[in-house]
Chains A and B, each alone.
Chain A
Amino acid sequence: MIIYSPMDGDALTSPIPSNPRDCFLMTRLGKPVPRGINEIRRSITAVCNKANYKVIDASSRVTGRDFLLKIWRLIASTPLSVGICHEEIPPKTQANIYYELGIAQALGKESIIVKSPGAETPSDFVRTEHIEFDARFSTTFADYLESLVQQASHYELVADQLDRNPILALDYLKRAFLITGDEQLRNKAQQLLNEPGLNSRAKNSVELLAATF
């Protein structure tokens, strides 16, 4: 996939290291964090840890470089983005969360909104899946994480059908790999690269970058 830098509009031509089985959490990070939001975060983390997902957020990595670009790269490196929607999140922070959800959707990531019963989502997110933070939250969210395995299997199956379109097939394999962490999917990508003509491309070509995961 070609990712254009939000800073200068040029394509990113260096590989983004993959973080399979990581969940990028979008929430309020600046102190003080209201209790209700902390409670949602704790529940998300507990369910993710149980399902073998590691929760990371924008403060998990210190790069010393541009903050926005770091967020883009973190989203691109992970399979799943979870955004919290809560009435106590300040409007500016909530707008940032929606922006990041948009990035995740555009990059083909699994994305979901966890919302408190009192919070309202903007109309652009009406068709985005959301889970309400209520008494059944842990079960519902765990079911959602479980369903991602099937989605990964679907991505692999689609990739298998697209061998005449290697870039798309590689991208589907990458999406499946990020969810499962299955090394066999990396091998499949390498096999695709062995098709005539592909391996001789520049190391930062779209084809080889797509296979670097």
Chain B
Amino acid sequence: MRTKLLLAAALVALMSAPAYADQNRRSDAKAQVDFGIRVAQKSLWKEAVYRFEKAIEIDPTYGGGWNNLGIAYEQMGRFDEARKAYEKALELEPNNTFIRNNYDLFREIYDRQNRRRDR
């Protein structure tokens, strides 16, 4: 009976492990994003880029992280990378108004810059 109970407990632990790992990943990624936001507010954009990159490396499904990375790249003038980051954020969170709005504002500038290159 005791063995059966132990086996059941082990099974439950094994099944919930991925969810727990996901939670951990998101929590670690959020810690990086928190720090990234703080440094971005102090205009330390290079450090912010590093932190946001770290965040999405830890958790590639973190839409907010991709959005922030897009903003940081944009601020650094790294437009192609910014576009990819914003689009990834929208792919993960297609209904997020904030991300959509950031992306629209960015596209206005990005498209203007590209029209110039074509001329």
Whether chain B is bound by chain A comes out as no
Interface residues of A (CB under 8 A from B): none
Interface residues of B (CB under 8 A from A): none
